[in-house]
A and B are shown apart, each in its own frame.
Chain A
Amino acid sequence: MVRGKLLPAAALGLLLLGLIVFPLVVTLPYPQHVMILIFLYAMMGLAWNIIGGYAGQVSLGDATYFGIGAYTTVILLRDLGLSPWVGMAVGAVNAVIVSVILGYPCFRVRGHYFAIATIALNEIVATIFTNWEYVGGAVGIYVPILPESFVNLQFHRSKTPYYYIALGMLIGVVLLNVWVGRSRLGYYFRAIRADQDAARSLGIDITRYKLIAYAMTAALTSLGGSFYSMYVLYIDPTSVFAFSISLLVVLVAVLGGVGTVAGPVIGSIILISLSEGTRVLLGGTGRALDVAIYGLLVMAISVLQPYGIVAWIRGLRRPPKTREVKVAGPAA
């Protein structure tokens, strides 16, 4: 039994070491940028994993919180000169508040109705920001350029500091996910996912626990938004409230394996390298061939491995048995 645990631990340690050494070996900014994107989306996939994976509520509107994190950080910096780290914390608080306000009505409905409601609310929030002069309206905000330092969360000569910050954030979110998975909270979440009505009859206050899960997701997603704003140094409603962000965080989780910790990370690695790889290799032809291949591969993965990569790896390690997994339907 000890050997069984030692091996994965050693592998994990090696992996971590590799990730820490990576930017020292590969100093080119573009590969580092791809890694940063992978960390960012892995982190947000894990954030989504709490509401969508553990608690089983398919939210398709996480860009709302991404945008709130980004805007809070940039506005506090622009108007009060506050460090982005403060902005990040305030952004997370804002995201929690908004998630409770928006989540409360949303959780009255289930399944697809809930999913569409989260999209609708994201669109509403995006429209408000687009028409709100104070936050720059449709024009968006150029982030004030500060001297490079850790406190300012801006680095102009190298991407390596961003790389380590993103990696650190990812590790934090991984640990949080592990903790949630093992805690009493995680047990409640899974009970809600398995059967809401049964969970309620067991005395679980399902709205309360859904809100807790949603707030955690919102807070963590907003961290991603804050990081993005300091990384790209320009934000506007169309790019930070984009539905494509909401969708991508779900896709990385689904591809890797919903409700697992490794899943979103693996999903992010595959999906981001796929889209960046096809674009760099085949983009620039102007014929969208890269995107077509990306779409084909996404379809192929979903048909070949609908339960995610993690389930597949587990299946490889165990003797084959019936793989008919009954997963609660959307309306369960």
Chain B
Amino acid sequence: MSEPQAQTPPAMTGGSQSYWDLVWGQFRKNRLALVSLVVIAVLFVLAAWAPVLAEGKPWVWREDGRTSYPLPAWLTAPTSGMSVDYLFNYFFFLTLTVPAAVLLVRRSMRGKEFSAKVARKRWSLGLLAAVLAGVVPFIGPGSYERGATPAEKEAQPELQIVKVWHFFRRYRLDNRDYLGARESLSKERGDYAYFPLVAQDPLGQTTDLLQPPSSKHFLGTDNQGRDVLARMLHGGRISLSVGFVAVGIATLIGILIGGIAGYYRGWVDIAISRFIEVVICFPTFFLIITIIAFIDERSIFHVMLVIGLTGWTGLARLVRGEFLKLADQDFVHAARALGCGGARIMFRHILPNAMAPVLVSVAFAVAGAVLTESGLSYLGFGAPPPTPTWGELISQGKTHIFEGAWWLLYFPGFMIFLSVTVYNLAGDGLRDAMDPRMRN
């Protein structure tokens, strides 16, 4: 029998500290780790904002009394580039909607007392709205298809609300060289254009080959006259996504395989452990190069996939060890005594307890994957040519080292160094924060 008063929401106790609250409390005390986390966040934002900061297309283009929005159209067009770009473009919208949601939720709760339950509800609603709002620019009838002229668009009657909604999308995406056309804009006609901060196309080839840093190209140009800063900003997308996607794949495989070995023990464990040992024996980097050499039309996803598929062994061993240890804990026996099945126990009861060391290992693995990707790109086995990556820039720097193209080595090299360092430092901080001996 449930009585109505049982529904009274739990009041803010303030004392309810989950394990992660405690870890965060410790992590915060580590200055270096905190800075690293901030740097990682900045790297993410830079990657998400790459087209906004450095792109050859203008935000607004007015010519002959007609206004168009090439960059926004490009941002939301599914044909705008690789899927990595598409994803990061979505992240770009998230960097706008999430802070807005945070501000709104904060404001709505200002000066009022809320129970933890109501507050949690508001926060989750607000964040959900932000995540959904980030999708909005991408959906709806796309009139960005090449060849669709304004006249054709007007022939398709649209609801006014849809029109407003797809404000940006009504302008077609074209491959026009806006940077070149910029010169021909005439003030007398009232033409104007608003370009991103770094008005340089990361893919656009110019005749300024191997220029040192200047006021036009802040970090110089590469051997095809492409702006290094623009390429580096866009290359951050590749680096970050390879790091996280490859490690995500490796983590999934590692948790599954290691978890099964550790939970079921016996011959299952023996078989899986021997299999892991066999896989460990392959020299990973050469294995990756070999596999990639056999892929005909490789893309960055092949690189991610191969790094992920070869990088799970360490994690699987770690997870296996954790599962072996945790499967003997009383709460696991208790869960079994309550009638929980194997999968439920593995993933709901054991895995959350094993997450801490897994996360530390993931942080280090991300750093490793970023390095591997840079190495592959450096050797020419990474993303296919026009794609900007840090390793590819260094590779160019190597080729032109006697021409003194130091900007091709130092700037991308510094980015690789910085990102690998901050992932390691953050992982270090996480490990220290979870070490009970570090607690006072």
Q: Do A and B come from one complex?
A: no
A-to-B contact residues, CB < 8 Å: none
B-to-A contact residues, CB < 8 Å: none
